[in-house]
Structure 1
Amino acid sequence: MIRDTRTPTLSLASRRFRAIALMVLAAVAAPVAAADTPSAAVPHAPEVRLAGEIVTLPIVMVREYPFIEGEVAGVKGKLMLDTGMGEPFVINDHRVPMTGGTKIGTGFFGSGQTFDIRLQAGVDGVRIGALRYPRVTNVQSQDARMLERITPDFLGWVGQAAFASHAMKLDYRRLTATFYKGGPEAFTRGETVIAVLPFETRKLPNIPLLPARIGDLDAIVSLDTGMNGSLAISEEKRQRLVAAGLIKPTQDPEAFDLHGVRIAGMAAATFPAIEVEEGPSPSAKSVGITEDTELELGYVFLRNYKTVWDYRAKRLYLLAP
């Protein structure tokens, strides 16, 4: 839940909206009996799944966020490709007018205002890149005007459940997301593999978790394409890292350079200009994180590689860019 009532920066807004989405996904809605109404007892947006052996979609980067050009009910715009969203497809009903639906939860903006999370019976005319869906049923919608500050034509999300049957290769330099139904022999062909990192998931199957060390501190890393990077840490441990020269200020008073990070035994790395906040992170409980030091990594880490997210085998592949 959002606790800070300051006007958030763009990256902070996205991170905290992610926390809202994660808590909503963890909630249980009661089934709806009427045949004409959406139901929590059946899969959400079941039409939005990948069918081909290999599917490639162009992405558009807005700041540190990957988007796919799309259209919903005649409204054109961008859909965030967000592994932090477990739903396959979620509509920003502030941008795309929706009527009716069944309320399944409530979210909160940093200002304290609330908005409804609704389950809609269906929406017509969905396009995700070149993929077209004449009608998508049992689809979630919510007011995501906060993310319209990142791109005013924000339509919603394409989340991890949409491609759960495939491995996703994300290439920020060539601006493509390629999905493979096959295994490593398919998605590593012609590539230079730098590392293969086994990961775990806990309460939510879409959030990969990896062990890490920051200097002499144990930490947990969570991965998410829908953000840049953020460290949630106790004040006492933050002071230890500052004293060791591992957290250094930047010209931006809300951003810090983080040094000496070893993820799953890899060589020490530096992550520039990330947020550092007193933990736990807003999403820690929903994800199942009990560690008191969490490093949330997105673009600040992923931009250095081509990455393959194979949720089926719980492996993250780092490939040469």
Structure 2
Amino acid sequence: MTRFRLTWFPVICLILAFGSHANAQDFEKTPVLHGDSVVFPITLINGYPFIAGSVNGVSGKFMFDTGFRTSLSLNDNLVNLPGKRTKSTGVTGSGNAFRTSTNDMIREVRFTNGITYRNLENVSSGNYDFLQKYITPDCLGYLGHDFFDGYLFKLDYLHRKVTFYRNTAERNKDQDFLKGEKLLAVIGFENRKLPNHPMVKLTISGTPVLGAFDTGQNGLLQLDEPSARALKGRGAVRISGTDSGGDTILTIKDIIIDGKYKSDLKGVEKSSLKDTRVIRRELGITEPNLMNLGYRFLTQFKTIWDYANKKIYLLEY
């Protein structure tokens, strides 16, 4: 059986609040954020952040995945969408086939913080049954980058919430999102072919590596042979075991991100050039060494993601 690996899945797809119900708001037609600031509670399942809600009365959870470009994509294996029109087919990097469809009208999408979208038009869906099988059986689909386009967000795994702030000139000046926080570092990043994949230069014990931030995975490291030998010899990368799926797990020391922040990491999955070939092509990655900065890294801090100004803030818990 081919095991499911979520890493990189959202890119392949692209190829083909806490809050009381007294503050409930209803919006029409398009699933995007509104207002100055919005808070959603999150649930963590195996390191993946989920936002609870319902679609046409079917309750479940949406994966909050920065690696997914589309605003909203529904799991039509869980939600009955009889009017869907098949758009394309594809396959994940681990061999899971899927189809994508377009839906002309979705009656209602409701979140537990009281925000509701009605009569949504031109909504994508896919048969994401593998997400149900390998992560959570009540997966409703994805919330991706275009859902919060025009906003920055603060992701807080410890307190289980994500807060979105409208990105304005005034906010960039007074930085209210930093009030009461202890700032550890500001990481500058770049985008290449896709706007939803922040990439940053880093080193591991002096060896250059390209880093990619993504909430939709746990973290991985792929090295070319010379780098792997050198880092193993220096004790900077070592095998620490295997996970429940049989993947090799690494401990990594002396990571310096953007020349500013030093870190060690445990529990990072070892990956291969073959495993990353699709994402390399689609994102324009030519560097020989690649590291995904997902849950294993992000859970150490509160992080603020500012796409407009190409910055990620690391804040102390």
TM-score above 0.5: yes
Q: 1:109 to 1:318 in 2, by over 3 A?
A: closer
- The 2-side partners of 1:65 and 1:113 are apart by 19
CA RMSD, Structure 1 to Structure 2 (Å):
1.9
Matches within 5 A, 1:95-244: 95-108=78-91, 112=95, 114-130=97-113, 131-148=115-132, 149-181=134-166, 182=168, 183-184=171-172, 185-244=175-234
Q: 1:49 to 1:110 in 2, by over 3 A?
A: closer
- Cα distance, 1:216 vs structure 2: 2.6
Q: 1:111 to 1:157 in 2, by over 3 A?
A: closer
List structure 1 runs of 4+ shifted beyond 4 angstroms: 109-113
- Cα distance, 1:186 vs structure 2: 1.9
What residue in structure 2 maps to residue 14 of structure 1? Answer: 6
For the pair 1:87 / 2:79, whether they are aligned, the reply is no
Whether the aligned pair in 2 keeps the contact of 1:272 and 1:300 (CA below 8 Å) is yes
- Cα distance, 1:132 vs structure 2: 0.3
Amino acid at match of 1:288: G
- The 1-side partners of 2:222 and 2:149 are apart by 28
- The 2-side partners of 1:110 and 1:201 are apart by 22
Whether the aligned pair in 1 keeps the contact of 2:53 and 2:61 (CA below 8 Å) is yes
Partner SS state of residue 179, structure 1:
strand
- The 2-side partners of 1:85 and 1:317 are apart by 21
- Cα distance, 1:46 vs structure 2: 6.1
Q: Deviations over 1:148-197 (max 9, x none)?
A: 12111000011111111111001111111001114342211221211111
Amino acid at match of 1:197: I
Number of corresponding residues = 293
Partner SS state of residue 300, structure 1:
helix
Partner SS state of residue 81, structure 2:
coil
Partner SS state of residue 211, structure 1:
strand
Q: 1:201 to 1:276 in 2, by over 3 A?
A: same
- Cα distance, 1:114 vs structure 2: 2.9
| TM-score after normalising by structure 2 | 0.87
- The 1-side partners of 2:286 and 2:110 are apart by 39
What residue in structure 1 maps to residue 14 of structure 2? Answer: 25
Q: 1:263 aligns with which of 239, 253, 257?
A: 257
- The 2-side partners of 1:276 and 1:158 are apart by 27
Q: Deviations over 1:73-125 (max 9, x none)?
A: 21100001110111000111111122243333212257756321112112111
Unaligned runs of 5+ in 1: 28-44
What residue in structure 2 maps to residue 303 of structure 1? Answer: 299
What residue in structure 2 maps to residue 33 of structure 1? Answer: none
Whether the aligned pair in 1 keeps the contact of 2:64 and 2:142 (CA below 8 Å) is yes
Identity of aligned residues (%): 33
Amino acid at match of 2:255: V
Unaligned runs of 5+ in 2: 17-27
